[in-house]
């Protein structure tokens, strides 16, 4: 009887919690529960619920439950999904301005990326989402991305020759890998593990937390810190959803998204260390002393191919001029 009463009370409590929200926004993420981006959006949801008195809540659907990034972006444009937390990479073919922050070695460091994205250039790129039925809300950290593979340690650009790497679905990354003498295969994140395991590809490239949480380190133990990309991640809302909100709630969404950024950065810094430790303990063979100069040199044709319009040229110049 006691257990039954407890169970009933728990059900009642859940029902109250569920009805406490007038509207629950569905947010997509490719990463699993507990990953910094997932937790940051959940924290944003708490702020939003509190500040709107329960008018708005957020439910995060982790582990690509609502689809892989390319598809979830489309669904968000259509308004089927309310919010999406994605890397800027998969936006390259939709929002031209995102190409500049996806160029290899455009940022000198994570600090440089923060200075750019926290300032007017970041705001300009966020605003560029709107004509594509999306509202850019905030940027999250994605560390720096480096190559890993199942075959051999990469000590120089020479070692990459002929290898096959998965890249995010963006032409820039295909050309980036090609310029390094390797072959690129764009594919959804969720297919990478088995593709490495079965030898369809030799490896991929990512940051410490993704390399760890995806389990890729189990099938590709050679990791070289060439740090070719520092791509920020972005949280967007469907313009359809946005337009259905009052001005007051729109402001609350913007503010809560903004307030989730420092939370995310703290979570990220901690997770980078934890992930590094975990994969190293699992036997990952790390190369850190790699000369990046030839890598940077090799990217010239990629810049020439993509930075052609005045808009992008100006953005690149202003990013490079930012301290």
Task: List interacting residues with ligand GTR (CB under 6 A).
Answer: 30, 69, 86-87, 89, 142, 168, 189, 206-207, 210, 233
Q: Please say which residue, 56 or 229, places its beta carbon nearer to ligand GTR.
A: 229
Residue 12 CB, shortest distance to ligand GTR, in Å, is 38
* 88: DSSP letter: S
**DSSP per-residue codes, 112-172:** HHHHHHTSHHHHHHHHTTGGGTEEEEEEE----EEEEESS----SGGGGTT-EEEE-S-HH
Q: Please say which residue, 52 or 209, places its beta carbon nearer to ligand GTR.
A: 209
Q: Please say which residue, 52 or 102, places its beta carbon nearer to ligand GTR.
A: 102
Of 48, 45, 55, nearest to 20 (Cα)?
A: 55
The Cβ of residue 186 has, within 10 Å, a number of other Cβ atoms equal to: 16
Residue 143 CB, shortest distance to ligand GTR, in Å, is 8
Of 56, 109, 123, nearest to 230 (Cα)?
A: 109
Residue 86 CB, shortest distance to ligand GTR, in Å, is 5
Q: Please say which residue, 21 or 103, places its beta carbon nearer to ligand GTR.
A: 103
Q: How far is CA 309 from CA 17, 97, 152, 231, 304, in A?
A: 51, 10, 39, 21, 11
The Cβ of residue 208 has, within 10 Å, a number of other Cβ atoms equal to: 25
Q: Please say which residue, 68 or 249, places its beta carbon nearer to ligand GTR.
A: 68
Residue 189 CB, shortest distance to ligand GTR, in Å, is 3
Phi, psi at 188, each rounded to 5°: -65, 150
Residue 184 CB, shortest distance to ligand GTR, in Å, is 13
């Amino acid at each position: 009887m006691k257990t039954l009463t407890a169970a009933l009370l728990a059900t009642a409590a859940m029902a109250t919690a569920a009805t406490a929200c007038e509207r629950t926004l569905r947010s997509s993420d490719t990463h699993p529960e507990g990953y910094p981006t997932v937790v940051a959006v959940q924290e944003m949801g708490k702020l939003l619920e509190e500040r709107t008195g329960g008018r708005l809540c957020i439910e995060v659907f982790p582990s690509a439950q609502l689809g892989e990034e390319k598809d979830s972006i489309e669904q968000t444009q259509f308004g089927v999904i309310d919010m999406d937390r994605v890397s800027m990479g998969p936006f390259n073919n939709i929002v031209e301005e995102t190409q500049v922050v996806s160029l290899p070695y455009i940022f000198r460091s994570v600090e440089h990326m923060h200075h750019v994205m926290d300032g007017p250039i970041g705001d300009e790129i966020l605003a560029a989402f709107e004509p594509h039925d999306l509202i850019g809300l905030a940027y999250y950290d994605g560390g720096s991305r480096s190559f890993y593979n199942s075959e051999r340690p990469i000590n120089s650009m020479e070692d990459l020759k002929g290898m096959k790497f998965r890249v995010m679905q963006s032409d820039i990354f295909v050309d980036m890998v090609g310029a390094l003498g390797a072959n690129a295969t764009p594919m959804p994140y969720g297919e990478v593990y088995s593709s490495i395991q079965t030898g369809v590809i030799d490896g991929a490239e990512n940051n410490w937390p993704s390399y760890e949480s995806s389990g890729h380190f189990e099938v590709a133990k050679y990791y070289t810190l060439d740090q070719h990309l520092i791509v920020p991640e972005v949280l967007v809302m469907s313009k359809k959803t946005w337009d259905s909100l009052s001005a007051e709630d729109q402001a609350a969404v913007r503010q809560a998204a903004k307030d989730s950024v420092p939370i995310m950065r703290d979570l990220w810094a901690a997770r980078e260390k934890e992930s590094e430790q975990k994969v190293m303990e699992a036997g990952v063979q790390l190369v850190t002393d790699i000369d990046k100069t030839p890598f940077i040199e090799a990217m010239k044709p990629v810049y020439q191919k993509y930075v052609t319009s005045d808009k992008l040229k100006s953005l690149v110049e202003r990013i490079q001029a930012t301290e």
